[in-house]
Structure 1
């Protein structure tokens, strides 16, 4: 179990959204998308996409029609939904609902949120509906509103409200088909929340999870690993009445309910975006809390051998690129380049043996 520092985000961002969806145009596979947020000094229109197979960023795949921070992003088959948030158009939260279809590279305006809000959470339920949960409204009130969007009819409908109104919460759909609303804060409360509340889309009911967060946290993110563990990542806590950004990571097992501390991120980060990639890794991107937090990009794996696989993949890709350009080099440089490639291939062989030992082979 470990975090791996990946190639930094091409575009600085905090308060962004992230989701996994189809690759753009006619490309095959799925990519991890970073959408919206606030950059160094302005809202970020760029949408960047990460290719988990080749471990590279395809920068500015498209641009968000209305740049926003504090938005929520989730995916339905073939579509990315960007909900709410704050834009440059007004200081009040937006009701905007913009939808991107990567295969056609097109944006459309879908039915807006019935309740304009920012710092909300969103997840796609097992029924295919998009659920927009919590947030802060135009009157700066923390809301318990839950609204469900039906992509087949382009309509919203109200659902049972959150038992605990929260903004800057994390929302994720578990492998069990339940939606988890984790942490967050309320303007009327002195400290971030430890609440973990669970929504059943079939019965339209909320229940409290068997275990609350170990420490009240807001501005955190959540994701689910291939084994069904739910992760609460980063955020802000309060220590001696002062906010502190943390690198904390906790996992929750719905089948034996308890939160367990996991390896921390490399540095503290809050208002980050996370999603689970097609490779099963959890990707945490951007945020604030340090000088480089807004471009930080880390991948978490519960597989202890993955870091070795990661090194092999990177080195192999580097070798392939060097071999492709070998013929373009003048003779006096080619000999040195060939020796370098030979050394790198030896490194790969050593790493492959290390990987076999790690796998017990």
Structure 2
């Protein structure tokens, strides 16, 4: 019996290694965006990637386009697109978080009137991927952009960003970078405050690995030379203890990158390097070993949107120098496979800017 157990374990281990290595590969173009959507976030649920809001770069080169309410859905299994129910509040640069089969869309802005005055939103709306319907939720307690989001143990964390003060018409008055952390409980519809992030920053990403939140890089000041406004700092937050811990800085300088987590590794995609040029680098960080390595670079240096589904990283369009837009969607198979306790079957697994609970 013991010999049989050892044999089966050896066979399973061999199959796992072969499957993982055979699935891993380089970047592959899979499709193009149906809408040249920019500043619209992506979220993945059940093998489908949802793109929300933003503006149409094809119609409004250089920005200041009308905020979109449309939602494009990409099915990674069939390689097809379809439209979902439109977002009730059109907005640019909102943030998303996934809880169960629902996608929460937070904040953002739009332009009002003939002169395109920017208006900021505290709006929170949730999209149900199973019923294709929207429901309004309690507003964000604090008006801010562009903050980071993460989901741990069924709660949604909003982290950092730039606090915005507006006049009675909702028009910008003043701003300040913040380390504020607020948490929303979808089950009770209530907001609570948590310990501030030690480094106040904006334009950063947060990802979840082993139920801890990691925030990498970000904007810390508005003035001075462009490179001097950003940091390479990494901070780890433990929701159970409500405590932050500083980790070694990123060894490379870049900002404006997109961050996703797959398994126990954090992928930083693209961005702008210390020469103030778009970079194609994909740097990967393992929080457990506190080590970095690189994988195959992006095919084109660009500022991108990205999501993870079925163990693959998808880059969804992006800006290429001089504000030119690329509608190309590419996929990179990380080769990661999780073993389920039930039946010990090889399955795909992925994560977007947060813990995707299915």
TM-score (norm 1): 0.74
Residue matched to 2:295: 262
Residue matched to 2:120: 93
Shift of 1:282: 1.2
**In 2, Cα distance between equivalents of 1:136 and 1:295:** 29
Shift of 1:93: 3.2
**In 2, Cα distance between equivalents of 1:49 and 1:119:** 23
**In 2, Cα distance between equivalents of 1:146 and 1:287:** 29
Shift of 1:157: 0.7
Residue matched to 1:215: 252
Question: Cα–Cα, structure 1 residues 259 and 233, in superposed 2: closer, same or farther, change >3 Å?
Answer: same
Residue matched to 1:8: 32
Partner of 1:194, secondary structure, is strand
Partner of 2:130, secondary structure, is coil
Shift of 1:257: 0.8
Residue matched to 1:317: none
CA contact (8 A) 2:202 2:218 kept: yes
1:67-114 per-residue CA deviation (whole Å, 9 max, x = no partner) reads 222221111002101111222256253211111112121111111111
Partner of 1:244, secondary structure, is coil
Structure 2 counterpart of 1:84, from 107, 110, 133: 107
Question: Which blocks of at least 5 consecutive residues in structure 2 are unaligned?
Answer: 1-24, 165-173, 337-358
CA contact (8 A) 1:184 1:217 kept: no
1:218-256 per-residue CA deviation (whole Å, 9 max, x = no partner) reads 32211122x4211111122342xxx32222211111221
Greater than 6 Å deviation, 4+ residue runs: none
**Matching of residue 34 in structure 1 with residue 51 in structure 2:** yes
Partner of 2:118, secondary structure, is coil
CA contact (8 A) 1:84 1:97 kept: yes
**In 2, Cα distance between equivalents of 1:137 and 1:91:** 15
Structure 2 counterpart of 1:178, from 196, 212, 232: 212
TM-score (norm 2): 0.75
Shift of 1:259: 1.8
Matched positions, count: 287
Question: Cα–Cα, structure 1 residues 93 and 218, in superposed 2: closer, same or farther, change >3 Å?
Answer: farther
**Matching of residue 196 in structure 1 with residue 217 in structure 2:** no
**In 2, Cα distance between equivalents of 1:143 and 1:287:** 27
Shift of 1:153: 0.9
Structure 1 counterpart of 2:331, from 299, 323, 337: 299
Question: Cα–Cα, structure 1 residues 38 and 195, in superposed 2: closer, same or farther, change >3 Å?
Answer: farther
**In 1, Cα distance between equivalents of 2:305 and 2:150:** 13
Residue matched to 1:338: none
Structure 1 counterpart of 2:261, from 224, 233, 243: 224
Question: Cα–Cα, structure 1 residues 219 and 171, in superposed 2: closer, same or farther, change >3 Å?
Answer: same
**In 2, Cα distance between equivalents of 1:230 and 1:48:** 26
**In 1, Cα distance between equivalents of 2:274 and 2:176:** 21
**Matching of residue 236 in structure 1 with residue 272 in structure 2:** yes
**Matching of residue 135 in structure 1 with residue 125 in structure 2:** no
**Larger radius of gyration between Structure 1 and Structure 2:** 1
**In 2, Cα distance between equivalents of 1:238 and 1:187:** 17
Superposed CA RMSD: 2.0
Higher RCO structure (Cα 8 Å, ≥6 apart): 2
Question: Cα–Cα, structure 1 residues 37 and 213, in superposed 2: closer, same or farther, change >3 Å?
Answer: farther
**In 1, Cα distance between equivalents of 2:162 and 2:280:** 25
Structure with greater strand share of residues: 2
Question: Which blocks of at least 5 consecutive residues in structure 1 are unaligned?
Answer: 22-28, 305-361
Residue matched to 2:308: 276
**In 1, Cα distance between equivalents of 2:256 and 2:203:** 5
